[in-house]
Amino acid sequence: MHTGNIAKLAEKAEICKVLIFPGMKIALVQLNYRIGDFDGNIVKITEFIERARREGAELAVFSELSVTGYYPQDLLERQEFIAAAQAATEKIAGHCHGIAALVGAPVLNEGERGKKLYNAALYLADGKVKDLFCKSLLPTYDVFDEYRHFEPNKSFHLLEAGGEKIAVTICEDLWDEQPVQYEFGKDKLYQCSPMEELAKLQPGLIVNLSASPFSVDQEAWRKEILTRKARQYGLPLVYVNQTGAQAELIFDGGSLFIGPDGKILREMAYFREDFLIIDTACSQEATFQPGAGKIGKMEQALLLGIRDYFAKTGFQRATLGLSGGIDSAVVAVLAVRALGPENVRVLLMPSRYSSSHSVDDAVTLAQNLGIRYDNIPIQASVDSIYRDMAPLFGDLPHDITEENVQARIRGVLLMALSNKFGCLLLNTSNKSECAVGYGTLYGDMNGSLAVLGDLYKTEVYALARWINRHEEIIPHHSIIKPPSAELRPGQKDSDSLPEYPILDDILYQYIELNFSPEEIAASGFDLPLVNKVIRMVNLNEYKRFQAAPILRVSAKAFGFGRRIPLVARF
């Protein structure tokens, strides 16, 4: 396959000479925006328009909804937000002299019917808005809900600029034929193809303004779609994606210039801002980004997610509970790499059930990372609550209630530290635990951001080994010991859960692939076990509804990309 050849080229960092169709000099501007920060976004966009002009570009292309940041959600229902977006667009247009630009912004629907807004690409030239192109295909699956706010475009025309006829498209407009998915009906989601309509007008170039969020498989799907479209219509294709994180959504960039034969000619950086001018009138060298692999890309995405969440909310410092286990260890490492050791502070909170090696592992990790740690044993607080509740509990045996008291005391201590010192609490739960409800509300589920909430336990272990690939940062014992919440004597996760490789395989097929219990069992699992796991997933929807926002790195994360009724019996 062509995509396989691309991967090989990327791995070997090969460079080859290619011939590009005649045309114009275009700047691909891949930036990190902040939602609703109109002043900041204006400065960022206009600085790069000026740079593109200085370097001789005729057209600068930015990403989808670049003026507002993607995705503004119900801010789009506020009149003053739309007015601010319009004013910002006009200010940006004022810088477009001697150069033109394509920027993304919401625009009012002046018609008598339909939604009040379009998701548009605006062509700015000669100091004003000269033309606009509206998005036709409005995704309403997974994390997308664009039809809630926007009217779909139904009329098509080309942009004529620099002697070139350009088909301007916005993100999903090139995804009318989805790659083969496992979701029911996803591969035939749309009834029309914007590019088929635009192709009738005989363009010489396709430009796509995009806001395509990261998932571990998205890069391959994206390249498959874009290279196929360029090849199908025999046209070069400019694709500009945004980078940066907006809470749960992480955008990886990876903007592309693709030749009319479907070969990728230029590939821009991933997980950071980048700028590139292509001269379509000259022969150029094709360049690719080095491959990172699944776990490496996950790490880059999570680091960007943490860094931007703090920067865009105005916080600098983080805290978390360090238990000596694998999940808190990985979160601590990521927090330090994203924020710096001076901005991370952790608490060790052992109980009578905490093993000495767990405390030792936590101390070793904190020392390896150069972060401040404090040790606050919780047993006296636990015993105090047990005494206070004894008249109510009577002779009832100890059960999960007493275990949860320990987790909730730890949650109280962490939130006290967070409040007193202005540190955001990072949640350390993984996707496997979130799925089956293996977590305590108002205890270990506390936090402002769930860093590992979209990584299965087996992926957390893989990430830990990746972190340790050059030197031992996470103590080896934290990686090899049987996972345990240490809330009762000799407790192991496997006491109540299948071993994680088995559990994660079942969960992946149920959550990501949307397989039925019978389909999952057919892949080699006992149907009663499959039904037990699925029952646990379904019963714990109420917990996930109250969980911290999760950094999305898979195709189906918990949160607003997976909406299940709280009271369903199905």
State the DSSP string of 119-159.
EEEEEEETTEEEEEEE------STT--GGGTBPPP-----E
DSSP classification of residue 482:
P
527 has pLDDT over 80: yes
Q: φ and ψ at 240, to 5 degrees?
A: -120, 115
55 has pLDDT over 70: yes
pLDDT recorded at residue 568? 83
Domains 17-291 and 296-493+540-545 in one fold: no
The alpha carbon dihedral of 498, 501, 502, 503 has a sign of: positive
**Cα 417 off chain centre by:** 28
- Cα separation of 338 and 340, whole Å? 6
Mean pLDDT of 351-355: 87
pLDDT recorded at residue 288? 87
158 has pLDDT over 50: yes
- CB-based burial of residue 17 (10 Å sphere; 0-12 exposed, 13-18 middle, 19+ buried)? exposed
Higher pLDDT, 190 or 539: 539
Mean pLDDT of 173-189: 65
Mean pLDDT of 515-537: 97
pLDDT recorded at residue 316? 96
Element (H, E) at 545: helix 541-545
Tracing tokens 């080229």 back to the chain, one arrives at 9
Question: Which amino acid type is present at position 518?
Answer: E
Regarding beta strands 100-108 and 117-125, do their DSSP bridges make them parallel or antiparallel, or are they unpaired? antiparallel
398 has pLDDT over 80: yes
pLDDT recorded at residue 9? 33
- Nearest CA among 353, 346, 394, 351 for reference residue 367: 346
Residue 4 — very low, low, confident or very high, per pLDDT cuts 50/70/90?
very low
Beta strands in 216-360 (DSSP E): 237-240, 243-246, 249-252, 256-258, 264-267, 274-279, 284-286, 317-321, 344-348
Instruction: Identify whether the C-beta of residue 251 lies closer than 8 Å to the C-beta of residue 214.
Output: yes
Instruction: Identify whether the C-beta of residue 248 lies closer than 8 Å to the C-beta of residue 549.
Output: yes
DSSP classification of residue 289:
P
Regarding beta strands 16-18 and 25-30, do their DSSP bridges make them parallel or antiparallel, or are they unpaired? unpaired
pTM: 0.92
pLDDT recorded at residue 356? 84
DSSP classification of residue 192:
-
241 has pLDDT over 60: yes
Alpha-carbon distance values, 61 to 40, 124, 485 (Å): 18, 10, 50
Mean pLDDT of 100-124: 95
Q: φ and ψ at 538, to 5 degrees?
A: -70, -35
Which of 12-16, 343-347, 508-512, 531-535 shows the lowest mean pLDDT across its residues? Answer: 12-16
Instruction: Identify whether the C-beta of residue 327 lies closer than 8 Å to the C-beta of residue 289.
Output: no
Question: Which amino acid type is present at position 44?
Answer: K
Instruction: Identify whether the C-beta of residue 246 lies closer than 8 Å to the C-beta of residue 71.
Output: yes
User: ∠ at Cα 457 (354, 416), nearest 5°?
Assistant: 50
Alpha-carbon distance values, 377 to 58, 81, 395, 485 (Å): 65, 49, 27, 16
Six-digit token string for 268:
């821009």
Question: Residue 105 CB: number of other CB atoms within 10 A?
Answer: 25
- Nearest CA among 141, 140, 153, 144 for reference residue 107: 153
Tracing tokens 């966009």 back to the chain, one arrives at 45
SS3 for 420?
helix
pLDDT recorded at residue 357? 87
199 has pLDDT over 50: yes
Mean pLDDT of 479-489: 80
Domain boundaries, the chain: 17-291, 296-493+540-545, 498-537
Six-digit token string for 230:
């360029």
DSSP classification of residue 516:
-
5 has pLDDT over 60: no
Question: Which amino acid type is present at position 165?
Answer: K
User: ∠ at Cα 523 (521, 525), nearest 5°?
Assistant: 45
86 CB contacts (<8 Å, ≥6 apart)?
Answer: 105, 107, 108
270 CB contacts (<8 Å, ≥6 apart)?
Answer: 219, 243, 252, 253, 254, 289, 292, 297, 300
Percent of the chain with pLDDT over 90: 82
- Max CA-CA distance within the chain? 86
pLDDT recorded at residue 1? 36
188 has pLDDT over 80: no
Catalytic residues, which ones? 64, 135, 171
Instruction: Identify whether the C-beta of residue 211 lies closer than 8 Å to the C-beta of residue 245.
Output: no
Residue 178 — very low, low, confident or very high, per pLDDT cuts 50/70/90?
low
pLDDT recorded at residue 172? 94
Mean pLDDT of 409-434: 97
pLDDT recorded at residue 337? 98
Residue 353 — very low, low, confident or very high, per pLDDT cuts 50/70/90?
confident
266 has pLDDT over 90: yes
Residue 283 — very low, low, confident or very high, per pLDDT cuts 50/70/90?
low
Mean per-residue pLDDT over the chain, rounded: 92
pLDDT recorded at residue 495? 79
552 CB contacts (<8 Å, ≥6 apart)?
Answer: 143, 213, 214, 215, 248, 249, 250, 454, 559, 561
SS3 for 470?
coil
Higher pLDDT, 218 or 108: 108
183 has pLDDT over 60: no
246 has pLDDT over 90: yes
pLDDT recorded at residue 10? 34
Residue 489 — very low, low, confident or very high, per pLDDT cuts 50/70/90?
confident
In this structure, the chain runs to a length of 570
Q: Does domain 17-291 have CATH number 3.60.110.10?
A: yes
- Cα separation of 240 and 259, whole Å? 15
Alpha-carbon distance values, 561 to 142, 454, 536 (Å): 4, 12, 20
Q: φ and ψ at 348, to 5 degrees?
A: -100, 130
Mean pLDDT of 440-444: 95
Q: What is the CATH code of the structural domain delimited by 296-493+540-545?
A: 3.40.50.620
Mean pLDDT of 45-64: 98
pLDDT recorded at residue 6? 31
Tracing tokens 């590019």 back to the chain, one arrives at 195
SS3 for 231?
helix
SS3 for 275?
strand
